[in-house]
Structure 1
Amino acid sequence: MACGLGAVILLFVLLKYDIGQREFEDDTLAGELAGLQERERQLNEKTKVVDQRSREEEKLRRELSDEILKFTKKLAAIDRNLSSQKHKNQALKKAIETTPIKKPADVVQDPSLGEEDYVLGLKVEGARIAILIDHSASMTDVKLVDIISRKTRSDAIKKKGPKWVRTKKIVRWLLARLPDQAAVAVIVFNDQVRTLGPAQWVGGKDAKALEKIFSDLETLVPVGPTNLQEGLEHLNKLNPRSTDLYLITDGLPTMGNSNYGGLVSFFKCSSLMGKSANISGECRKELFRKTLKDSGPGSGVTANIILLPIEGDPEAAPEYWRWSATTGGLLIAPAEGWP
């Protein structure tokens, strides 16, 4: 009886322990389950975030792909346009190269002048341009012996002198390059002076007037002394006054209009007193300086000198250079082949 009671008590104790143990384990498992569920919830949230980002990135990828496709199409169109434009440019270039250029008719026609537009910086410019031409006897040749020989020959032979032929070409060269709005006066001098053409001033693009100047020039014979003062005094009478002067000559003057008798500097210049047919280089220099002092064109006139060659007048270049430089003009001694 006692043994049976003990067994029952032992069984009861064991059963009570087992129940307590199970309750403890259930609580532990419930806690772990709750933790797992919380982790699952967090993972689900992260998964949602990742999915959302994936969808956004996919959308962005598609948009970028669409933009790339658009730009690719635009580039292809640009390439086609460039290729087409290149062909058009080549065709246009070929057309330009093969199209004859029609130049406006020059008022002064002279094939021998070529296309030279400058000589050592010389430009034909100004509102009122005066061209002063020396047509004395020395304007026929360079060497004194040839000048002297030609003096005794016919007018036709004098007019064929190489320096005079060149002078006429220079006049044509200057007139061919007159500015469109310029007026021009052409004056010739030796011991006398005259204006060429139909009027004192003519338009730079007046073909008929320029042709009259050329025809008048062709009638001239280079003879007599060089009276630069005569030419300058005539120049000063132009109305309105000239703005630019182009003088074509070959040396210093040999004659003047002033009274030199009472001047000490001309005491030895017997030719200027009518006592000699010859004039020295020193007297010519003094005569030139006196001429400019008494009859120079004054301020406001730019003097450009085209000095042709001659023997025996070494002072001409420095004297003419000094004059042109003070006016802002040029002195040129052109090369033999010009114009």
Structure 2
Amino acid sequence: MARKRFDTFSLAFLDVMSCGFGAVILVFLIINHATEVEFQNVNRDALSEIRRLDYEVETGDLNLAEIRQAIEATRKRIENAQQRRLTITDTLDTRRDELTLMQAETLARIEHLNQLKTDLEAREKDVERLQAEAEEDEGSNVRVFVGEGDRQYLTGMKIGGARILIAVDISASMLDDTIVNVIRRRNMDEVRQRAAPKWQRTIATVEWLSAQLPLDSEFQIIGFNTEAKPMLPESAGGWLEVSDADALNDSIEAFKEIIPSGGTSLENLAIALGDLSPLPDNVYLIIDSLPTQGTRKPRGSTVSGRQRMSLFRDAISRIPPNIPVNVILFPMEGDPLAAAAYWDLAQISGGAFIAPSDDWP
């Protein structure tokens, strides 16, 4: 009987190996399934935690954005508030400065007002004193002159002296303030010439001066154009008593009858002034322009400004010294040098100078 051949990979061996391999696989499957279940459980918890953390992160990001926006808005509000604070501070400083200035001005005004009150009280006392003196002297004036509306005027021209001369320009230029109107009025009838506004002002000025004459003084009224004549011819070279109401009134009435005409000779007036005996101690000169001739008529029909100044100087040189000459000037068109010349005359002689308004006296 033949012996059987031994084979390493026999059926039994393969069965054993298959069973072993299947057992290993079974064990692996059992172990791997438990691990997967455990891993799945672990992953599920971690995933939940991750999702929760992601949600918190997202929520945090949203909250952070809102917080950042709130911070930016707050920063802008703070900047705006600071800007407003600076503006308010500047405005407040300005208001404080203005208040300080207003307080200073108020104090200055109060001080000025108090000063004005003090001055007013002083003036009222002066008025009361003058009224008392006027009441004492009531009835001492021979003539009375009241301006329009019963006004009183402060001229700085004191009417005083023992012998008072009122010298009035009665040349044609006293008809008006302009050369054209002088020529027009010179060709009108006598009634219209006497009614000329400038001449009526001249008459009113003479009346005003005569009303201010002291009762214990003497006077003379001389009208001059190319000649110089007293209003009352019989009083030539002498004086009339102010207390003589008839003489004063007659002189004024005679003056009102004059019609301005001819040129202006201030030199002839100076000669007539020197012929008065005794000499005046106060002269009131009513005039409107520089002289147009000397003691004689000029050769030509016109006189230049330089010639008129020369005639003025010649006339002034013939006025006796130490006699105040008070000038009342009614300015004439085209004679700009007159005001300065007569102002010099008043200052040099110790008199006063006024160029009154149209409604004076």
Alignment TM class, shorter chain as reference:
0.5 to 0.7
CA contact (8 A) 1:133 1:187 kept: yes
**Secondary structure in structure 1 of the residue aligned to 2:253:** helix
Trace 1:138-157 onto structure 2 (pairs within 5 A).
138-157=173-192
Query: What's the CA shift for 1:106?
Result: 4.2
Per mean C-alpha deviation after superposition, the further-off stretch among 114-123 and 246-255 is 114-123
Q: Give the superposition deviation at 1:178.
A: 0.8
Partners of 2:255 and 2:188 in 1: CA distance: 20
> 221, 232, 254: which one pairs with 1:216?
254
Distance 1:117 1:124 in 2: 14
Would the alpha carbon gap of residues 113 and 174 (structure 1) be closer, same or farther in structure 2, given more than 3 Å must change?
farther
In the TM superposition, what is the alpha-carbon distance from 1:115 to its structure 2 partner?
5.5
The match for 2:307 is 283
Q: Is the 8 A contact 2:328 2:355 kept in 1?
A: yes
Contact residue 302 and residue 324 of structure 1 kept, 8 A: yes
Q: Deviations over 1:80-110 (max 9, x none)?
A: xxxxxxxxxxxxxxxxxxxx99953742134
Cα gap change, 1:110 to 1:323, in 2 (>3 Å): closer
Distance apart, 1:119 and its partner CA: 3.5
2:338 alignment partner in structure 1: 316
2:243 aligned partner: 205
Q: TM-score, normalised to structure 1's length?
A: 0.62
Counterpart in 2 of 1:196?
231
Counterpart for residue 159 of structure 1? 194
Verify: 1:129 aligned to 2:151, yes or no: no
Tell me the distance in 1 between the aligned counterparts of 2:147 and 2:155: 19
Q: Equivalent residue of 2:220, what SS?
A: strand
CA shift for structure 1 position 117: 5.4
Matched letter for residue 214 of structure 1? I
Distance 2:216 2:336 in 1: 38
Deviation at 1:120, TM superposition (A): 2.6
Query: Following TM superposition, by how much is the alpha carbon of 1:318 offset from its aligned partner in structure 2, in angstroms?
Result: 0.8
What does residue 209 of structure 2 align with?
A: 174
Q: 1:203 to 1:303 in 2, by over 3 A?
A: same
* Residues 215 and 288 (structure 1), Cα distance of their counterparts in 2 relative to 1, 3 Å cut: same
Q: Displacement, 1:164?
A: 0.8
**Contact residue 175 and residue 186 of structure 2 kept, 8 A:** no
TM-score by length of 2: 0.58
Q: Percent identity?
A: 35
Q: Deviations over 1:262-299 (max 9, x none)?
A: xxxxxxxxx83x1x211112211111012212x22x22
Partner of residue 348, structure 2: 326
| Rounded Cα–Cα distance in structure 2 between residues aligned with 1:184 and 1:246 | 11
Aligned length: 224
- Shift of the 335–208 alpha-carbon distance from structure 1 to 2, 3 Å rule, reads same
C-alpha separation in 1, matches of 2:228 and 2:253: 17
Secondary structure of the 1:325 match is helix
In 2, are the aligned partners of 1:141 and 1:163 still within 8 Å (CA)? yes
3-state SS in 2 of match to 1:247: strand
Q: Give the match's secondary structure for 1:305.
A: strand
Between 1:311-320 and 1:197-206, the stretch displaced more is 197-206
Cα distance between partner residues in 1 of 2:149 and 2:161? 23
Give unmatched runs, 5+ long, in structure 1.
1-99, 259-270
Structure 2 CA distance for partners of 1:239 and 1:312, relative to 1, 3 Å: same
Distance in 1, Cα, partners of 2:141 & 2:346 = 30
Q: Alignment partner of 1:221: what SS?
A: coil
How far the C-alpha of 1:206 sits from its partner, in A, is: 1.8
Equivalent residue number for residue 142 of structure 2? 107
The gaps in structure 2 that reach 5 residues or longer are: 1-134
Give the CA deviation at 1:156. 1.9
Q: Which residue of 1 aligns with 2:288?
A: 250
| Cα displacement (A) at 1:201 | 1.0
**Counterpart contact for 1:113–1:173, Cα < 8 Å:** no
Deviation at 1:247, TM superposition (A): 0.4
* Distance in 1 between residues matched to 2:212 and 2:184, nearest whole Å: 35
CA contact under 8 A between 1:181 and 1:204: conserved in structure 2? yes
- C-alpha distance in 1, partners of 2:242/2:140? 14
- CA displacement at 1:257 relative to structure 2: 1.4
Q: Which residue of 1 aligns with 2:277?
A: 239
Q: Please give the per-residue CA displacement for 1:200-222, whole angstroms capped at 9, x wherever unaligned.
A: 31112321111110111122110
* Residue matched to 2:268: 230
1:36-78 per-position Cα deviation (integer Å, ceiling 9, x unaligned): xxxxxxxxxxxxxxxxxxxxxxxxxxxxxxxxxxxxxxxxxxx
Whichever residue aligns with residue 325 of structure 1, its letter is: Q
Q: CA deviation at 1:252?
A: 0.3
Structure 1 residues 223, 174: closer, same or farther in 2, change over 3 A?
same
- d(CA) in 1 for partners of 2:322, 2:151: 28
- Aligned-CA RMSD value: 2.2
